[in-house]
Amino acid sequence: MEDLVLQEYNKKGTILLAKAKTKFVCQNCGYVSPRYLGRCPNCGVWNQMVEEVDHPESAKAKATPSRRVSDLESKPVSIDNVSFEKEPRIKTDLSELNRVLGGGIVPGSLILIGGDPGIGKSTLLTQVSGQLANTGGKVLYVSGEESASQIKMRADRLDISGKNLYLYPQTDMSYIRQTINEMHPDYLIIDSVQTMDEPEITSAVGSISQIREVTAELMNIAKQDNITVFVVGHVTKGGAIAGPKILEHMVDTVLYFEGDTHHSYRILRSVKNRFGSTNEIGIFEMRTKGLVEVSNPSEIFLEERLADANGSAVVVSMEGTRPILVEIQSLITPTIFGNAKNRHRIGS
């Protein structure tokens, strides 16, 4: 494949501009191939190889790598000599959310929330943003899917207001980073990661390379500036968060917001949590004024149970530290035929 950019040399023979080649990246698993393939040899998905331009860094750029989280401590230190101050978790008004997070929000953490379209991810984060802003924290709500007036419309429906809550419709990560350096917010909401654009990456918005670099930038923002970052992630038809699996590995907490759009109840489930258990679940009810937490889920599961019903039993299911009562039904119908028997014929 022909090079897009030729090598140029100065009088001393050092490379000024490196080669830029094309590569094909699978949008499902991130597999990289030098040529187009109809089927990804790694995950087996068809028609997911997208062409991207690869710009290798020059020798000078490689000699001076960018500052990362791992560069903050330049020397190895004995674990006995490491000191830290334990910061208290930040409580929200939603006790169900605090339960799933392991007792509250950990400052400087990166939290990923995924769920089906229309399930209530933006509603949940809007409510949490308003609650955090009322406690004195400065919240920056960055949206790549809605305008400021549309977010304001939802906030008015949820009765959310406050001068510490700032709306910023933007998708360019360079402008977002500049705004963060100027405002110094305590909390950052990204809705959603698939709409963010890293200008240094030439691939399309929402591609594997874009999601990976945007998530790495958000992780640096959370760890270096001690800013709690909430990230909304789209899901695929199979229910998994869209993008490379490394997206879930990089973040601190992965939450799934589940439920049926035709019913009002929602379940918030943790599948990864570096600061707490993954066994806890939170149950909410979607109403006109937003999400309302359900403190007694057993009452919901048993409210339609008939008294002294045949073939019905109540069992206790442990979800984390909370027991939940659920009903198990056995459907039996009479038959005029006898019981089936398996007859084995032994050959001579």
Domains present along the chain, CATH in parentheses: 8-59 (no CATH), 95-295 (3.40.50.300), 297-335 (no CATH)
d(CA 168, CA 233): 18
What is the pLDDT at residue 181?
Answer: 94
What is the pLDDT at residue 270?
Answer: 93
Q: Is 7 helix (H, G, I), strand (E, B) or coil?
A: coil
What is the pLDDT at residue 5?
Answer: 41
Give the single-character DSSP code of 273: E
Q: How far is CA 87 from the centre of its chain?
A: 24
d(CA 2, CA 266): 52
d(CA 33, CA 39): 11
> Alpha-carbon dihedral of residues 291, 295, 300, 301, nearest 10 degrees?
120
d(CA 195, CA 207): 10
CB atoms within 10 A of CB 13: 6
pLDDT tens across the length of the chain (348 residues): 444 444 444 444 444 445 567 888 887 777 888 889 999 898 888 888 888 776 555 443 343 344 444 444 567 888 888 777 777 899 999 999 999 999 999 999 999 999 988 899 999 999 999 999 998 899 999 999 999 999 999 999 999 988 999 999 999 999 999 999 999 999 999 998 999 999 988 788 888 888 889 999 999 999 999 999 999 998 877 777 776 677 888 899 999 999 887 788 999 999 999 998 888 899 999 998 999 999 888 888 787 777 777 778 888 888 777 888 888 888 777 777 776 666 655 554
Residue 114 structure tokens: 């995924």
Contact 117, 258 (CB under 8 A): no
Strand-pair category, 139-143 with 49-54: unpaired
What is the pLDDT at residue 65?
Answer: 40
d(CA 245, CA 103): 27
What is the pLDDT at residue 202?
Answer: 79
CB atoms within 10 A of CB 345: 4
Residue 25 structure tokens: 């990246």
Q: Inter-axis angle of helices 148-157 and 121-134, to 10 degrees? A: 80
What is the pLDDT at residue 309?
Answer: 75
Q: Which letter, b or e, does each residue of 17-47 get, where b requires 16 or more Cβ atoms within 10 Å of its Cβ?
A: ebeebbbbbbbbbbbeeeeeeeebeeeeeee
What is the pLDDT at residue 90?
Answer: 93
Phi first, then psi: give them for residue 230, nearest 5 degrees.
-105, 130
Beta bridge partners of 163: none
Give the position of tokens 């035709």.
Answer: 262
Q: Is 40 helix (H, G, I), strand (E, B) or coil?
A: coil
d(CA 36, CA 338): 61
Of 283, 247, 231, 277, the closest CA to residue 114 belongs to 231
What is the pLDDT at residue 263?
Answer: 83
- Residue 149 preceded by cis peptide, ω within 30: no
248 contacts: CB under 8 Å, gap ≥ 6: 112, 241, 254, 271, 272
What is the pLDDT at residue 110?
Answer: 96
d(CA 269, CA 19): 46
Contact 187, 139 (CB under 8 A): yes
What is the pLDDT at residue 59?
Answer: 40
